[in-house]
Structure formats: C-alpha cells, structure tokens
Amino acid sequence: MTLQLALRHRFAGFALDVDVTAPPGVTVLFGPSGSGKTTLINAVAGLLRPDAGRIAVADWVLLDTKARYCLPRHKRRIGYVFQEGRLFPHLTVRQNLLYGRWFAPRNVTPEPLDRVVEMLGIGALLERRPAALSGGEKSRVAIGRALLSAPRLILADEPLAALDEARKAEILPYFERLRDEISVPILYVSHASVEVARLATTVIALQGGRVAAIGPPERVLGDASAVGAREVASLLRARVVAHHDDGLSELATAAGALHLPRVAGAPGTVIRVRIAASDVILSRAAPVGLSALNILQGTIAEIQPGRGPAARVVLAVGAERLIARVTLRAVAALSLQPGQTCYAILKSVAVAPEDVGR
Amino acid sequence: MWGVLAGWLGPAEWEAVRLSARVALWATAVSLPFGIVTAYVLARWEFPGKQVLNGLVHLPLIMPPVVTGYLLLLALGRRGPVGEVLEQWFGIVVAFRWTGAAVAAGVMAFPLMVRAIRLAIEAVDPKLEQAAGTLGASPVWVFLTVTLPLILPGIVAGSILAFAKAIGEFGATITFVSNIPGQTQTMPLAIYSLLQVPGGEDGAARLAIVSVVIAMAALLLSEFVARRVARVVSGS
C-alpha cells in the first residue's frame, strides 16, 4: 500500500511544502526538530487541517483539499502511537487496549487481543491502570492499543524519544516485529538515525519543511545533505555466522567478516548494521599489527568533498556502499582516487548494540 | 428517623424542610446537563461573544439576589414573555409555585456549578481526547468515554455545591415566587417568617440547626465522594 503525502501548510514563520509517495513498509520521517515531521504526521491523523494537499493510503483518500474532502479523524482508521503514550488514566490496560476495537467497523477483523498481548509481552499488566506502569510498559501498551483498533495505517511520533537508552533497546524490537509480522504500513517519525537504520524501508528526510531526500535508508543515511555531514553512515547487510565465547559475534558481509559485540539473532539471521562514517579509517595497503578487528576491502567509488576540512570516501563493497569520513589532507596524502582498492578499518566497539537490527 | 425529626420540628417547619429538599434537588438535577454543556463550551470553544456568555452565567453570582428574582418575575411571570409561552404552549406555570422556587434556586446556583465543572474540564488533557478520536471515537463518544469520566469529581463537587446554594437561596426566591407556606416557603423563608412573629424563635432555631447540619453534611459528602471518584478515575 503506497502512501501519498502532498501537503502545503503555513504557520507563523514556518512553511511545510511536501509532495512525496512512499512505497509499502515502514516510512520514517527523519529530520531535526522544527523540520515539520510532527505537523506532517498530525495532518495524516486529522489532528491538523493543512492549507492544501492530498493524503491517501493506496486508494483510501484521507484528505483532498481540491475536492473539498476531509475525512474526520475518527473515520480515518489510523493507529497513532503517541510519544507520551496518552493512555486513558481511568481505564485498565485491557480497556485501553480494546478501546479502538469498540469503534472499528463491524466488517473488519482486528488482530486478536491474545496475539498482540503475547507479541508485546504485556500479559501481566492487563488489569493494571496506566499510573502503575513504567515508561517502557506504557509504550508497549500504547503500541498495542493502536494495533488493536484495526488500523489501515500506523503512525508513530517519536515513540522512543521519552525513554532512556535501556528502554529504547527494549521497545525497538517490537517495532521490528510490527514491521515484519503485520502487513499494515507504518509512518514513523524520528530524529534518531539509529531508529532509521533499524526500522525504515523508506526514509523521507525533512529539512525546514521540505523534503531533502527520499529513498531506501542506506541511500538517505549516506547523503550528507539529508542527514548532516556528522550523521552520515552506511548500512551493511550482514549474516550472523557465530557467537564466540569472548563476547563477540562474527558476521559475514559482502566485504568480508565483521566482528561485533554480541548481537541478537541466531546464526543464519540476516541483520543490518549501521556504521557511522566517522568511525571508519582508510588504508591503501592491507594493514597489519592493528588492534582493530574489522578490515573490509572495497573499491573507491566516489570522493565527495565536504564544506569543511573533511571528505566522504565511498567504497563499493559488493553491491553495497561503505562510507568513510576522513580529512581532505588524508585524501591527498594517500592520493586516493576512484577505482583504487582500499581497506576500511572499523573498531568492533564503535558499533553499539542499538546500531544493529533486523 | 424521619418521624422523629418531623415530630421535633412541627408540621409547618417539617413542610419547609421537605419543600427545600425537593426544590434544591430539582434545581440541581435540571440545571446539571445545562451546567455541563455550558462549562464545556466555556472551557473548550473559542467564539465571538464568549465573554458575554461567561458574564451572563456569572451574573446571578454578582447581582443582588433581589434583582435576579425581579428579572425572573419579569421574564417568567404569567405576563412575562417566557412565562406566557410556557403557560400557553406547555401549560406550565412557575410563578408563585414550588417549581418557580426551583427555577430561582437553580439560576442562583448555576454559576457555582459551572465554575466547578469548567475547572475540571480545563484539567483534562485535550491530547487524551485527540487520542480517543484517532482510535475511532466520534466527538460525542470521546466526550462520553473520556472527558465525562475524567471530570466526574468536578461534576460531583459542582452538584453538591449547587445543592447547598439552592437549599439556602433566599432573596431571588422571595422576590420571584413570594413566601407561601407549603407552596414556596423554603427553609430560609420559613426562618425569616418565624422571626417576624412573637414566639417564633424556637422554630427558627430548630430550622437553623437543620440548615447547618445539611450544609455541613453536603460539604463533607462532596469532599468524600470527589476524593473517591478521583481515586478511581486516576487509577492510583
């Protein structure tokens, strides 16, 4: 189900002007605060009426200002996971979860309660009230509540932003399961490139109310104009080979073996690993006597000078791209040229557990 | 227990207590739906003339009660514009009837009720109502399933406050519906009448005691119920 987002909206001192179509899967709206992410998602939910535009999920039109059509929010069949949860304080967890089902059309079958409860691990909480839940538990209940309303589209507005790192690591896998197990498109707002790397099928990078880039995450995350030079990263597809006794996991990529701190997933699982461009060191010769465990071989595809003293060197490794952020001085000293074979060095510990996802 | 109370009070005084209770209950019950709607409109809607509505609602609180009673008489008396319509179309006469006493009490208590409920509505996070909307609840259902349960403590407090005010209403009642024993003579009016005649002090004192007890009981009950409801609603 494709998602069409065409909107124009003007606030005091801010204008949103977007016209994109996203393919099925998880579409992440990515950008700094103030870039218009929340405005856009609220327009989709019907919490805000834009000046002009058209919003449609496949052929289900939610808004078309040209045809003077605006579906009221309670008829949009959208499961909105809010940043602060917004659980109803006077209802139990079970009543919160079933709230949306009450209003769902008779002819649709929502997810069974048991399955959602099991998937989110909230079986023990059903009779509690939101006041008695921890932050992570509230988030999971909020996800379940949105899911159980039989939505045609799930919206999530920075659902992890209010959580600490440990809770984020707890909730992210649930969104991955949502993406992999339920065939409802998801529009996910985030300003964290880690979440983009792990969840996105498509990324829409927003800047100042405009679309800076749209595409698959490995392309948008590597685009400095979309994410900012410091945030540039590569996404490598890797297969888990083995978990070793010293706490490292061995992964196979198109460019060679990667050894990372223990990742989740049985041997054979394919995962994606986010590698920040500034964590990568380049070498012309095969390096020896290094403490770094990961040495990947590739061919220089492109050298992109930045605005400052740094440049991005893009290596082609198999069908994928690995980006290194190095100084222009280093590019000159090594006389790096497109077409050369080059070695990328990556410290294992530079990749944090949250950089790795399915 | 009621028998003992009736015996202690004497028939005329007992009549006044019963009439007061009936007037105050009806005044509170009938004005409650209007009170909730008015409070909601004042709390959540923005429209030109909002301050005028707000002023109108509060008028009985700041005007001399006698003036309120006089205005009610002008409007709702048998020859008043509203009174005439009520009588001809619906056969309802409120002038010089207990129903009129209930109208006067209701109008005087209305601002207190609206204030309490409005505060409760303003304390409800509109984001919760938005969330209910995205889950498929129409505005009416949002109100019934989210807003209303969350403002219950305010509704209880506002109702009991209004009841206490209605039971003690004097100036507007005596001006609008006069002081007819068994018909419009509520407790405060009966106390006033008893004090006008020699030897009436004992009866006045007994009714005064009843008034104080009712007022205290209403206050304690409202605190208790509001706290209970708040605990259920907030889920702690």
Residue B178 clears pLDDT 70, i.e. is over it? yes
Q: Which pLDDT score is estimated for A267?
A: 85
Across the interface, do B134 and A76 touch by the CB < 8 Å criterion?
yes
Burial class of A339 by CB neighbour count within 10 A (0 to 12, 13 to 18, 19+): exposed
Residue A199 clears pLDDT 60, i.e. is over it? yes
User: Is the complex ipTM more than 0.95?
Assistant: no
* pLDDT band, very low/low/confident/very high, at B1 (cuts 50, 70, 90): low
What share of chain B in percent tops pLDDT 90?
50
**Chain A closest CA to B37's CA: distance in Å?**
22
Concatenating the DSSP letter of every residue in A26-76 gives EEEEE--TTSSHHHHHHHHHTSS--SEEEEEETTEEEEETTTTEE--GGGS
Across the interface, do B235 and A132 touch by the CB < 8 Å criterion?
yes
* Closest residue on chain B to A45 (Cα): B134
Pairing between β-strand A153-157 and β-strand A186-190 as defined by DSSP bridges: parallel
B139 touches chain A (CB under 8 A): yes
Name A130's Cβ contacts closer than 8 Å, sequence gap at least 6: A85, A87, A88, A89, A91, A93, A96, A138, A141, B235
Residue A330, token pair as written in the block: 């280093």
CATH number of the domain located at residue range(s) B8-231 in this protein: 1.10.3720.10
CA-CA distance, B190 to B175, in Å (whole number)?
14
A79 touches chain B (CB under 8 A): yes
Q: Which pLDDT score is estimated for B221?
A: 85
pLDDT digits (tens, 9 = 90+) for A282-335: 888 888 888 878 888 889 988 888 778 888 899 888 888 889 998 888 888 888
What share of chain A in percent tops pLDDT 90?
21
Across the interface, do A82 and B131 touch by the CB < 8 Å criterion?
yes
Helix, strand and coil in chain B, % to nearest 5: 80, 0, 20
pLDDT digits (tens, 9 = 90+) for A62-101: 999 898 898 999 999 999 999 888 999 999 999 999 998 8
Q: Which pLDDT score is estimated for B148?
A: 93
Residue A174 clears pLDDT 80, i.e. is over it? yes
CA-CA distance, A214 to A30, in Å (whole number)?
10
Which strands sit side by side in the sheet containing A186-190, from one edge to the other? A69-70, A60-64, A52-57, A3-11, A14-22, A210-215, A202-207, A26-30, A186-190, A153-157, A78-81
Number of Cβ within 10 Å of residue B85's Cβ equals: 12
Across the interface, do A131 and B133 touch by the CB < 8 Å criterion?
no
Q: Which of B128, B135, B142 sits opposite A149 (nearest CB)?
A: B135
pLDDT digits (tens, 9 = 90+) for B104-144: 999 999 999 999 999 999 999 999 999 999 999 999 999 99
Q: Where are the domains of chain B?
A: 8-231
Average pLDDT over every residue of A168-173 = 80
Residue A127 clears pLDDT 70, i.e. is over it? yes
Across the interface, do B234 and A131 touch by the CB < 8 Å criterion?
yes
A-chain residues near B235 (CB < 8 A): 89-92, 129-132
CA-CA distance, A171 to A8, in Å (whole number)?
33
* pLDDT band, very low/low/confident/very high, at A202 (cuts 50, 70, 90): very high
Q: Which pLDDT score is estimated for A93?
A: 94
CA-CA distance, B236 to B222, in Å (whole number)?
20
B235 touches chain A (CB under 8 A): yes
Task: Enter the pTM of the model.
Answer: 0.81
- Give the domains, in start order, of chain A with CATH numbers: 3-231 (3.40.50.300), 233-357 (2.40.50.100)
A-chain residues near B142 (CB < 8 A): 74
